[in-house]
Every structure is written in structure tokens, then in C-alpha cells.
Structure 1
Amino acid sequence: MKRMLILAGLIGATLFLIGIFVVGAMAENYDPLSQFVSELGAVGAPNAWLLNGLVLAPAGSLIALGGLGRLGQGEWLSGPLVSLSGTGFLIAGIYRCDAGCGFVDMSPAAMIHNQAAFGAFLLAILAALILTVVSLARRNGSRAAINAIAVTGMVAGLGAMMTIGLDHPLIGLSQRVFLVSFCLWLMVDSAVLLRTPRKARA
């Protein structure tokens, strides 16, 4: 059962990674370099149901299950954080941002969307950071490297988003640096857990 839950997390991360690029490619006049992923699912977006109903909500749910599987593997700190991060993406898929995903005069749904997504970002970084430290302490160099690279990518992406400004022409690229790092981390680290199931107690 634990392995099935971890596999669910791997599938969720894969769905998330592929889904955001496929839905983006289907959208007309959409620039992934300068626009948020959330704009694909915003109020009035033509294919909003694709992003929210077929990518964010199911992927978030599967990632949350994957976190529970990690808890079953003894990852008492990082497992719940991964699960909460997935829940944040699930909520972001249920509550859409306003048209254009602006940050002025936001609707209640848009505020929930943004808070859930931002919280999911921070929780994911914290989970990967904890796993990095624990893996180093246990002399598991390969797993420490996986998590350290993920932390670096996620922090770089989120840090760029917060420093360059929300109207910067590369804000979409910055967000995707985070999301790609996040998804690849879950995919690779989950695969490691499935191949060598050991209690990390992280």
C-alpha cells in the first residue's frame, strides 16, 4: 500500500509536468515565458477546465497521496509537507484566479488560489531541504544530491519570481523553473524510494 501511494505521487508529478506544457501549447496567443501557468485556468480562459480539472486537481491529489506514502516510509516530517504541498495545488485547481491573474482587486477565489499555490511552493522547498539534510546525515549521497539539486532549482525559480516583479517578461519562465524542478524532484526521488524502500525518518 505504501508503495502504491508513492507511485501515485510519481504519477501526479509526471501529470503535472506534462500537463502544464501540453495545455500551454494548446492555448492561442499564450506566452509561457511571460505568463503564469494559472492564466491557462483563469476565469474566462478557453481551456480552463483542462488545466484545473485534468491537471492541477488530479495531480495535486496524487501528490498528496504520495506524501502519505512517504509518511508510511518513516519520513515523518517531509512526508506530511509533500502531502500538504499537493493539497495546495489541488486547492489552486479548484479556486481559479481572475482573468489575467492580476494581483489588484482580487476576488476571494483568486486570493485562495494564490495563497494555496504560494503555500505549496514553500512547503515543497521545505520538504526537499529536510530530505537533503537527513540524507547527508545518513551518508546517502545520491539522495542528498537529488534533493539538493531540487532545492536549488525551486529556490532559484521562486526567488526570481519574487525579485524580477510580476510584470517582468520572464515571470512565466521563472515560475516554470520552480515547477519543473518540483516535478522532476518528486519523480526522481519517488523512483528512488520505489527501488530502494528504506526508512529515511525525515
Structure 2
Amino acid sequence: MNNKSYALIGIAIPVVFWTAYITLSAIRPEYSLLTKAISELGSVDAPNKWLWNFCGYILTGTLISIYAFGLYKNMAVKNSSKLPLYGILFSGLFMIISGIFPGDFDNKQSVTMLLHTIGSFGSYIFFLLGALSYVKLMNKTKFWKNAKTPTLIFTYLTIVFGAWAFVFPEIPALGQRIVFFFYFSWIFYTAVKLHNLNKNILNSDSIKGKTICQIKKTK
């Protein structure tokens, strides 16, 4: 696949996730975005649990893992660290795990809940590893260097709002939504940037072509 294909996958990731979330949460009037975890849409006793776990976690995680290769392939230079690639790649893979194993919120000691929790926390930890290590990689190219600050802001905001439940224990789930928002903002921003790279290349080639034509005409 070329850069444009990877970029479109990256842009589609938050669209797939939030469309599934908004749709499935809307048909459950008892589901509160303030107090219910996102994973409760796919808990063992939830209606449409496999629809959410597939669209919200398994499909989304698969797309993230594919996108990880495209983003790294574009940005890596000779002898680049593979940490950025592994971070985003495993973030997607662990998200898939959290979808394969629905959370059992009535029995938090169950095996399925344990595996779901490992998938959820693993996805976020690997995201932090990938997002923070990408900063060094972005510094190596002129095109990506100005993406460093926005992506760092998105990353740090996921950390800040990760503490939401401790500050506002009466509405703990709202903070989780905000963390997810900035997580997917990082992906969406880098994907748009990757898509714009193709435009810059085309514009550059167009300018070069015109210059060559002008030189020929002058001769």
C-alpha cells in the first residue's frame, strides 16, 4: 500500500470507533456516558456485545495495527528505532484482545475480565510508548518536525485526563471518553499529515515539471 492508502486507514479509525460508540450507546437509554465505562457496551451481559466488541475494539484495533506500519514506513530513516512502530502496532493488537475477551463487570476476578483489563491497559501503555518515541523520529525530517508539538499535546492530555476518576469519582467515565478522544486525535492528526504529504509531493513534482518545460522552451 502507498502512503495515501495508509493515511485513509488512519483517518477511518476514529470514524469507525465513534460511529459504533454513538450508535450503540444511543440505543441503550440506561447507559450513562458519565458513569458507565466504554467497555460496558461489550460486557458479557450487554445487548449487542459482539457488535460493539467487533466494531469498537477488534476492527478498530486491526486498523490501528495496519496504520502503524504505514506511518513508521513513511517517517523512519536509516537505523531508526523500532519503538514507535512497536508502540502503535501493539496498541492496536492489545485493543483487539480487549474486544475478544468481554469485560465481566459483575465478577472482576474472572479470567475474561482479567484478559479484557490486560488488553485495555496494554493498549494504552503501548500507545504512550509509541507516541512519545515518535517525537524523536519526527525531529529527523522537516515535514514531520512541526507535528511534534500537537502530537505531544494530545499524548500528555491523555495522561492528564487519565486521572479524572480520582478527581471526579462521581462521574469517572467521562474522563475515559476524553482520554479516548485525544488518543484518536493523535491517530487522526498524524493520518491527515500523512495524507497531506502526498499532496506536497505532487505539488513539488508539478513545479519541477513546469520548470523543466520552461527550460526546454527557453532553449
Q: In structure 1, the residue corresponding to 2:170 is in which secondary structure?
A: coil
Matching residue of 2:179: 178
> Which of the numbers 157, 161, 182 marks the counterpart of 1:157?
161
SS in 2 for 1:196: helix
Deviation at 1:141, TM superposition (A): 5.2
Which runs of 4 or more aligned residues in structure 1 lie more than 4 Å from their structure 2 counterparts after TM superposition? Answer: 136-141
Is 1:94 the equivalent of 2:100? yes
Q: Which amino acid aligns with 2:64?
A: I
Aligned partners of 1:12 and 1:63 also within 8 Å: yes
Q: Write the letter of the residue equivalent to 1:158.
A: G
Residue aligned with 1:193, SS: helix
Deviation at 1:136, TM superposition (A): 4.9
State which of 124, 128, 131 in structure 1 corresponds to 2:131.
128
After TM superposition, give the deviation of residue 115 of structure 1 in Å.
Answer: 0.8
TM-score, length-normalised on structure 2? Answer: 0.78
- 1:172 and 1:105, CA in 2 relative to 1: closer, same or farther beyond 3 A? closer
Map 1:45-84 to 2 at 5 A: 45-75=46-76, 76-84=82-90
Gaps of 5+ in 2: 77-81, 201-219
- Among candidates 147, 150, 157, match of residue 146 of structure 1: 150
Deviation at 1:148, TM superposition (A): 1.4
Structure 1 residues without counterparts, runs of 5 or longer? none
How many equivalent residue pairs?
192
Deviates further, 39-48 or 134-143? 134-143
For 1:19 and 1:105, the matched residues in 2 are separated by 25
In the superposition, the TM-score normalised over structure 1's length comes to 0.84
Greater C-alpha radius of gyration: 2
Higher RCO (Cα < 8 Å, 6 or more apart):
1
Structure 2 residue aligned with 1:19: 20
RMSD across aligned positions (CA): 2.3
Partner AA of 2:14 in structure 1:
A
Amino acid at match of 2:177: R
Aligned-pair CA distance for 1:66: 0.4
Q: Which moved more, 1:139-148 or 1:107-116?
A: 139-148
